[in-house]
Amino acid sequence: MLNAIIPQSLYRSYLLRRVSSGPLRKYLETPLPDKNSYLNDSEFLSLDFETTGLSADTDKILSIGYTLIRQGRIVLAENGYIPVDPDAELEEKNVVIHQIMDDHSKQGISFSVAIEILLEKIAGRTVIAHHANIERTFLDAACKKLYGHGLPLNIIDTLKMAKQRMEQQHQTIKPNSLRLFNLRNEYGLPRYNAHNALEDAIATAELFLAMASYRSNDINSCKVKDFL
């Protein structure tokens, strides 16, 4: 609860006094990104989780996809896809949605190793996600389960950005209008397959850059805090 009521930078300092070793300690040793830095001077990790459901308390992460934005460009060489062994039989409805069968998920790496890899990728970067509450709550729950503490994190939500823009323009928010691929269509971006963690991460990264460009004629003048 503490990370929900105090600034993330203070929560990081609080944890540094209490976490002595391990993946969380390594993550904390890298300062959180400067919110006042300009967009092109910052690095972002666009992130997507595929999960068995929406509850971080009872559901599991099936796969993790991510891509890097550096100097205002997507670095495809930094793409990553991590299948995770959920250590549980998948329900039929989840197989239909994610097309991840039991035998495929068993080829994934362990939950703890997956989170350790992800923390290394996130360190020092601002996370971008669409409907970011999913990634935030699942990652926070994962760190509490593995390390006993939540995760200080700066995260940008492209869904929130889109909603704010519509409200400022007094637009009616129609059902499904804030879905990732409907928003991409609005910005003239190509359609990708849905429910693949890596493709969704790339799709979110492209959407963020398009929305940032739309917001300002000079994207180089935008600061990280403008999007948080």
Q: How confident is the model at residue 35 (pLDDT cuts 50, 70, 90)?
A: very high
Global model pTM greater than 0.85: yes
Question: For the residues 31-59, what does the mean pLDDT come to?
Answer: 95
Tell me whether residue 11 is in a domain: no
Q: How confident is the model at residue 1 (pLDDT cuts 50, 70, 90)?
A: low
Q: How confident is the model at residue 121 (pLDDT cuts 50, 70, 90)?
A: very high
- Domain residues for the domain of 131 are 33-226
Tell me whether residue 215 is in a domain: yes
| CATH assignment at residue 216 | 3.30.420.10
Highest mean pLDDT among 26-30, 58-62, 213-217: 26-30
Tell me whether residue 27 is in a domain: no
Tell me whether residue 4 is in a domain: no
Asked whether the predicted pLDDT for residue 100 surpasses 60, the reply is no
**Higher per-residue confidence, 122 vs 168:** 122
Tell me whether residue 67 is in a domain: yes
Tell me whether residue 128 is in a domain: yes
The two tokens of residue 7 are 């600034």
Average pLDDT in the chain: 89
Spatial strand order in the sheet of 61-70: 73-83, 61-70, 43-51, 126-129, 155-157
**Higher per-residue confidence, 214 vs 42:** 42
Q: How confident is the model at residue 116 (pLDDT cuts 50, 70, 90)?
A: very high
DSSP state string for the chain: -HHHHS-HHHHHHHHHTT--SSHHHHHHTSPPPPTTSBGGG-EEEEEEEEESSS-TTT--EEEEEEEEEETTEEEEEEEEEEEB--SSPPPHHHHHHH---HHHHTTSBPHHHHHHHHHHHHTTSEEEETTTHHHHHHHHHHHHHHHSS-----EEEHHHHHHHHHHHTT----TTTTSHHHHHHHTTPPP--SS-HHHHHHHHHHHHHHHHHHH-S-GGG-BGGGT-
Tell me whether residue 156 is in a domain: yes
Q: How confident is the model at residue 96 (pLDDT cuts 50, 70, 90)?
A: low
Asked whether the predicted pLDDT for residue 49 surpasses 90, the reply is yes
Q: Are strands 126-129 and 73-83 parallel, antiparallel or unpaired?
A: unpaired
**Higher per-residue confidence, 144 vs 88:** 144
Q: How confident is the model at residue 2 (pLDDT cuts 50, 70, 90)?
A: low
The tens digit of pLDDT for each residue in 52-91 reads 999 999 999 999 999 999 999 999 999 999 999 877 555 6
Domains: count for the chain: 1
Phi, psi of 173 (to 5 degrees): -85, 105
Tell me whether residue 64 is in a domain: yes
